Amino acid sequence: MIAPVWLWAVAGEAVLLGIAAALLGRPSYPWVAGLLGVLGAIGFDLAVPSIPAAAGPFTYLLPGLIPLAVALLFLRGAEGATWASGGFRIPPGTALPTIGLAAALAAVFLLFSLEPGVLYGFLALPAPDIGSFAVLFLGAPLLALGQEALYRGYALGRLADTQPFRIALFASSALFALSFLAPRELLAAGAAGAAQILFLQVVPEFVLGILLGLFFYKGGWSLLGPWLVRTALLWIGTLLPVGPGNAPWEILFVFSLIALSAMIVVLQVGLVEPRFRQRRYLELAAQPLRRTLLARARSRRQTRNALLALGAVVLLVAAAAPIGNLAGPSPIRLYAIASGSMEPTFYRGTLVAVVPVAAPSDLRTGEIIAYTAPYLSPNGPVVHRIVDISRNGSEYVFTTRGDANPSPDPRPVLFSQVVGRVAVALPLLGYLLLSPPLLVGLLALAFLVALYRSSPPGIVARLRRPVLPRGEGDPTP
């Protein structure tokens, strides 16, 4: 028997949310279904320690069966709707192009997700045994089908009937991302570890939900494309024999955003909406020339905005690379003031730019330098002022002191220790170095704003439903 207490808990959740759906009415169905899927995922995570080891494959199948059952319960049980209206359809002539585009998206993700390994080296992952490989290989399509049926086929489809498409897209993606919360890990990780979990698990899944939702809509409200992409990503994540080595989690997060951004660009360029949906979506009258011109303009605008979203991430990565000293030798180095030893000249959190010094004779008393001194600062250079310069034969010896310190530093500084002189100081920006979650959070915020701007706004269903009830066939233009 598999965790009977947990099964009772999920059954109780289903009853309570079902009662809420009945009381609130049909417009609440997608929210109730999505929250039920989220609660089921969280409940499964909490119940994993109590599931007997003998359960075996069920621990991999249940996360897919739960959302699939919820989607079918609301689609067929509560609404009595057709399979096609839930995304279980393949528009004529789209199967092969959809498969090809899904394969291209998976290849783009694989390329960029392995990029940190180029910088930090690759790590060989242990190969699963035959039984585990079979369960992971066969369980991925089921898990993908359950998630896509609930969060795309049902939640996004039903929300788009009553809300602007952009709102429906982001709401369904948020529900999808919440299902990846890992309460056991969050409780055990502490504040810093919780930030890492959120940025590595929840935020990328939210962006992935945007990508899959766009594929669902632009593919004719069909689950085929999102299901294929999600299955491929699950295979890559569980069966790939290598992974990035000791890459910091911030770098893994950044490259996951780059991968998803590139996938969105490929999707926007590679999949053009059918003309009839462009007409409905843009509220255009049946004027062929005007419709064609506006459709082309909108396609160019969406592609441009998607490229801007990708460009924003690339620029932020380029800015963050020297901050993290990832770009190799550079004439300018950036450091953060981590203490108050230089107050009031530099307060904690000041970002300083350090330029190299060609010769020791170029330095003067009163200048502020950065030098390596592991006995004072094991995590980076010390930034202090030169208060005296002397010579020991041909070697220059520098005496340094922090402006707020009553006495000079305990050891003299040799020119071989000097990183450079401080050229520019910017208050507060150093906190981006001192707090990696803050830097990553700002990066995520900038990316999500760009992504929101690049997503299609849409119109409410009352303006487009009379043209085509979703899933009932494609009218002629």
Joined tokens for residue 205: 């899944």
Q: What local confidence, expressed as pLDDT, does residue 450 receive?
A: 63
- Is the confidence at residue 148, as pLDDT, over 50? yes
* Count of residues making up the chain: 477
CA dist 22 and 464 (Å) reads: 27
User: 207 near 257, Cβ under 8 Å?
Assistant: yes
- pLDDT value at residue 469: 43
Mean pLDDT, residues 299-303: 62
**Tokens 């056991």 -> residue:** 184
**DSSP symbols for 145-186:** HHHHIIIIIIIIHHHHHHS-HHHHHHHHHHHHHHTT--HHHH
Q: How many CB atoms lie within 10 A of CB 395?
A: 11
The residues pairing with 334 across neighbouring beta strands, listed in sequence order, are 353
Q: How far is CA 52 from CA 4, 57, 457, in A?
A: 11, 11, 47
DSSP state of 360: G
Please write the tens of the pLDDT for every residue from 153-199.
999 988 888 888 888 899 999 999 988 887 877 777 776 677 777 88
Burial call 100-135: b when 16+ CB within 10 Å, e when fewer = ebbeebbebbeebbbbbbeebeeeeeeeeeeeeeeb
Higher pLDDT, 9 or 112: 112
The answer to whether the CB of 376 falls within 8 A of the CB of 396 is no
| CATH number belonging to the domain at 338-429, selected among 2.10.109.10, 2.60.40.2550, 3.40.309.10, 2.60.40.1190 | 2.10.109.10
The confidence score (pLDDT) of residue 446 equals 66
Catalytic residues, by residue number, are 339
Lowest mean pLDDT among 58-72, 121-135, 192-206, 233-247: 121-135
pLDDT of residue 195: 76
**Statement: residue 282 has pLDDT above 60:** no
pTM for the model: 0.66
Rank 194-198, 233-237, 322-326, 438-442 by mean pLDDT and report only the highest.
233-237
Instruction: Give the up-direction half-sphere exposure of residue 267: CA atoms within 13 A in the CB hemisphere.
Output: 29
The mean of the pLDDT values for the chain is: 75
3-state helix, strand, coil in the chain (%, to 5): 60, 10, 30
Most trustworthy range by pLDDT among 253-262, 318-327, 361-370: 361-370
Rounded Cα distance, 94 and 225, in Å: 10
Confidence of residue 476 (pLDDT cuts 50, 70, 90): very low
DSSP 416: G
- For 15-32, what is each residue's pLDDT tens digit? 555 555 554 556 678 888
Predicted pLDDT at 299: 61
Determine the pLDDT at residue 106: 93
What is the per-residue pLDDT for 466? 34
**How many CB atoms sit inside 10 A of residue 72's CB?**
17
Which of the two residues, 301 and 173, has the higher pLDDT score?
A: 173
Instruction: For residues 164 and 11, give the distance between their C-alpha atoms in angstroms, rounded to a whole number.
Output: 33
From CA 38, how far away is CA 179, in angstroms rounded? 4
**Among the listed ranges 102-111, 255-264, 288-297, 320-329, which one has the minimum average pLDDT value?**
320-329
Q: Return all residues near 128 (Cβ < 8 A) that are at least 6 apart.
A: 136, 239
Sequence-distant (≥ 6) Cβ neighbours of residue 287 within 8 angstroms = none
Instruction: Tell me the average pLDDT across 246-265.
Output: 80
Of 143-152, 277-286, 292-301, 372-381, where does mean pLDDT reach its minimum?
277-286
Whether 235 has a pLDDT exceeding 60, the answer reads yes
Q: 6 pLDDT exceeds 50?
A: no
pLDDT for res 306 = 59
Confidence of residue 100 (pLDDT cuts 50, 70, 90): very high
pLDDT at res. 462 = 36
pLDDT at 278 over 50: no
As beta bridge partners, residue 346 has none
Mean pLDDT on 301-325: 56
Sheet holding 413-414, edge to edge: 333-336, 351-355, 418-426, 368-371, 382-392, 395-401, 413-414
Residue 461 has pLDDT above 60, yes or no: no
User: Which pLDDT score, from 0 to 100, does residue 474 have?
Assistant: 44
* CATH 2.10.109.10 residue ranges for the chain: 338-429
- Lowest pLDDT segment from 96-100, 376-380, 386-390: 376-380
pLDDT in tens, 348-360: 888 888 888 888 8
In the structure, what pLDDT confidence band is assigned to residue 467 with cuts at 50, 70 and 90?
very low
Strand partners, 397: 390, 414
Surface-to-core class of residue 343, CB atoms within 10 Å of its CB (0-12 exposed, 13-18 middle, 19+ buried): middle
**pLDDT for 362:** 85
The count of C-alpha atoms lying within 13 angstroms of the C-alpha of 112, restricted to the half-sphere facing its C-beta, is 21
The angle at the Cα of 213, spanning 207 to 217, to the nearest 5 degrees, equals 150
- For 401-456, what is each residue's pLDDT tens digit? 988 888 888 888 888 888 888 888 888 777 766 666 666 666 666 666 666 665 66
